[in-house]
């Protein structure tokens, strides 16, 4: 059993840390973007790795839980511990320095608390690209992004957070420090601990720094929105785009008309490139080397797609402002969703070829449960859909309390039966612990438990996240 972080324990920490490490206004750390979870605990914000280690040692000695906290934008309740003895919430916000850059290696080393947008800017200042990109990039910090193995819009080309990390510095659950900040691209010396820590959601240790991979900055960038006849046509267009533009495709997103309708209903304001919103739209982003024109590449793709009967309408951005306007639509759909209020939201992935069938079968199965609006959009190129179910017009989220568990079960059962994942990029946190237990392969679950028990025998690291806490 764990103990709560009491005022007496705060005094213990005061002897170890400067006064600046204590956050008296805890409110900002106790809520999350969708307002569905409330946290509790004592908030500390250490300034460096040694202070993190000192806090962890004190917590281990007193058997007090630790919840690592970066930008607080996680969508599965991993950064908030609602139940159980009050933990220490360990915020990385003051560890926000770029430690070193190695332009000739395309590597940047930084503290875990650096905000993603600042890493992107630092890379840009070097004439490089840090390609991780998602709507929360102004708040999410690299420690949290790695801990959730975040995805975003450029996974198709550059991979997810895991693929962009070469090395880590981690404070282990006993307070010792693993100095794994390697910049090597090849290092086959034993188990891959970096990949174990990435995606562990703070349950195996605290990431305090990372060595990140940068990419060459494409010389020409461009974007197009194309109306496609169906999800199957969108997949065919993706294949066509791969044939014609190859690695130059940075993102390939799909959006259903419902997202545009929600934006029209509740905002944020947007400018549609279509006179009449098509049922399915794809947003294609390209980045090309010198000598190649993104507009020409996208025009060629549009013509080929049109001739093949895949594309019915479209607009190609003529400048950066238009490209930004296209992305604004995609990136503000989650905010419109939040304003409407979903009955149930799902971050799922499906083998690419099964997506059209999933979309059809999902709608049929939900029609048996009740009257809903479905907003399906997301990273089609990665097989990752945000499949969100909303109240019928005139109704609200609260009208569906009884149906909610059934909606979730119907969607997740279908995903599982089609060899998909019920958490493509947001993680397990506390929201999906039961789903992991239900759908996880038994051998996998046994290995997850064995790893957790071996690395965190006291169970103090983010208790109850990913795996249920042992009694």
Ligand X SMILES: Cc1cc2nc3c(=O)[nH]c(=O)nc-3n(C[C@H](O)[C@H](O)[C@H](O)COP(=O)(O)OP(=O)(O)OC[C@H]3O[C@@H](n4cnc5c(N)ncnc54)[C@H](O)[C@@H]3O)c2cc1C
User: Taking CB under 6 A as the rule, does residue 70 contact ligand X?
Assistant: yes
Comparing CB distances to ligand X, the nearer of 150 and 283 is: 150
Binding mask 216-235 for ligand X (x = CB under 6 A): --------------------
Within positions 256 to 275, which residues make up the interface with ligand X, using CB under 6 A? none
Binding residues for ligand X restricted to 188-217, rule: CB under 6 A = 201-202, 206-207
DSSP strand E in 203-248: where? 206-213, 215-216, 220-228
DSSP annotation of 146 reads H
Stretch that binds ligand X, among 96-104, 143-151, 360-368, 403-411 (CB under 6 A): 143-151
Q: Which of 145, 198, 245, 348 binds ligand X (CB under 6 A)?
A: 145
Nearer to ligand X among residue 303 and residue 324 (C-beta): 324
Taking contact as CB under 6 A, which single stretch among the options 75-83, 215-223, 258-266, 363-371 is the one that binds ligand X?
Answer: 75-83
Please give the residue whose beta carbon sits closest to ligand X in the complex.
Answer: 144
Both tokens of 182, joined, read 């390697």
Instruction: Figure out which of the listed residues 46, 87, 152, 167 binds ligand X, where binding follows CB under 6 A.
Output: 152
- Interatomic CA distance for residues 146 and 36, integer angstroms: 23
Instruction: Quote the least distance from Cβ 76 to ligand X, whole Å.
Output: 8
Residue closer to ligand X by CB (options 72, 305) is 72
| Cα dist from 209 to 64, 178, 243, 388, 410, whole Å | 23, 11, 39, 34, 40
Q: For residue 110, which of 71, 141, 134, 66 has the smallest C-alpha distance?
A: 141
Instruction: Indicate whether 71 belongs to the interface with ligand X (CB under 6 A).
Output: yes
Q: Which is nearer to ligand X, 270 or 274 (by Cβ)?
A: 270
CA distance 88 to 10: 9
58 binds ligand X (CB under 6 A): no
Q: What is the largest CA-CA distance in the chain?
A: 73
150 in contact with ligand X (CB under 6 A):
yes
| 8 A C-beta contact, residue 342 and residue 389 | yes
| Residue 277: DSSP 8-state | -
Beta-bridge mates of residue 73: none
* Residue 220 DSSP symbol: E
- By beta-carbon proximity to ligand X, the closer residue of 199 and 294 is 199
Contact status: 68 vs ligand X (CB under 6 A) = yes
Question: 323 to 382, contacts with ligand X by CB under 6 A?
Answer: 334
Work out the burial of residue 441: count CB atoms within 10 Å of its CB; fewer than 13 is exposed, 13-18 middle, 19 or more buried.
exposed
73 belongs to the binding site for ligand X (CB under 6 A): yes
Q: Binding residue for ligand X (CB under 6 A) from 69, 262, 358, 390?
A: 69
* 3-class DSSP string for 162-187: HHHEEEEEEECCCCCEEEECCCCCCC
| DSSP letter string, 301-360 | HHHHHHHTTSEEEEEE-SSHHHHHHHHHHHHHHHHHHHHH--SEEEEEE--GGGHHHHHH
Residue 426 as a binder of ligand X (CB under 6 A): the answer is yes
- The residue from 128, 141, 346, 432 that contacts ligand X (CB under 6 A) is 141
Q: Pick from 110, 112, 212, 340: which binds ligand X (CB under 6 A)?
A: 112
Q: Which residues bind ligand X (CB under 6 A)?
A: 33, 67-75, 78-79, 92, 112, 134-136, 140-141, 143-145, 147-148, 150-152, 201-202, 206-207, 334, 425-426, 429, 462, 465
């Amino acid at each position: 059993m764990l103990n709560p972080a009491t005022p007496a324990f705060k005094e213990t920490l005061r002897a170890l840390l400067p006064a600046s490490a204590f956050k008296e206004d805890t409110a900002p750390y106790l809520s999350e973007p969708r307002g569905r979870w409330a946290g509790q605990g004592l908030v500390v914000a250490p300034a460096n790795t040694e202070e993190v280690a000192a806090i962890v040692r004190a917590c281990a000695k007193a058997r007090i839980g630790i919840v690592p906290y970066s930008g607080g934008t996680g969508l599965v309740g991993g950064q908030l511990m609602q139940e159980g003895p009050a933990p220490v919430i360990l915020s990385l916000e003051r560890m926000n320095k770029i430690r070193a850059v190695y332009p000739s290696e395309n590597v940047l080393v930084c503290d875990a608390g650096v905000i993603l947008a600042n890493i992107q800017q630092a890379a840009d200042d070097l004439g490089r690209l840090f390609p991780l990109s998602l709507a929360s990039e102004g708040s999410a910090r690299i420690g949290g992004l790695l801990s959730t193995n975040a995805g975003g819009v450029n996974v198709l080309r550059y991979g997810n957070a895991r693929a962009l990390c070469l090395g880590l510095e981690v404070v282990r659950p006993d307070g010792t420090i693993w100095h794994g900040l390697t910049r090597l691209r090849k290092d086959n010396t034993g188990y891959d601990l970096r990949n174990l820590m990435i995606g562990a959601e703070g349950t195996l240790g605290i990431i305090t720094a990372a060595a990140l991979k940068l990419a060459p900055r494409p010389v020409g960038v461009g974007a197009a929105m194309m109306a496609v006849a169906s999800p199957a046509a969108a997949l065919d267009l993706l294949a066509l785009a791969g044939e014609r533009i190859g690695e130059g495709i940075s993102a390939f997103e799909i959006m259903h008309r419902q997202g545009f309708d929600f934006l029209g209903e509740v905002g944020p304001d947007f400018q549609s490139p279509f006179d009449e919103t098509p049922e399915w739209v794809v947003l294609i982003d390209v980045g090309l080397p010198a000598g190649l024109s993104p507009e020409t590449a996208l025009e060629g793709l549009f013509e080929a797609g049109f001739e093949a009967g895949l594309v019915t309408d479209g607009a190609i951005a003529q400048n950066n402002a238009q490209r930004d306007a296209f992305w604004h639509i995609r990136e503000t759909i989650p905010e419109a969703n939040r304003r409407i209020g979903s009955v149930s939201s799902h971050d799922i992935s499906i083998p690419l070829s099964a997506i059209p069938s999933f979309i059809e079968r999902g709608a049929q199965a939900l029609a048996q449960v009740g009257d809903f609006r479905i907003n399906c959009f997301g990273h089609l190129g990665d097989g990752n859909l945000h499949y969100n179910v909303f109240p019928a017009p005139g109704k609200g989220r609260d009208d569906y309390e009884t149906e909610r568990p059934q909606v979730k079960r119907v969607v997740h059962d279908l995903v599982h039966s089609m060899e998909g994942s019920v958490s493509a990029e947001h993680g397990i946190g506390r929201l999906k612990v039961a789903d992991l237990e239900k759908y996880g392969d038994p051998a996998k679950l046994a290995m997850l438990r064995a790893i957790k028990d071996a690395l965190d025998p006291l169970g103090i690291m983010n208790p109850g996240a990913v795996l249920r806490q042992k009694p």
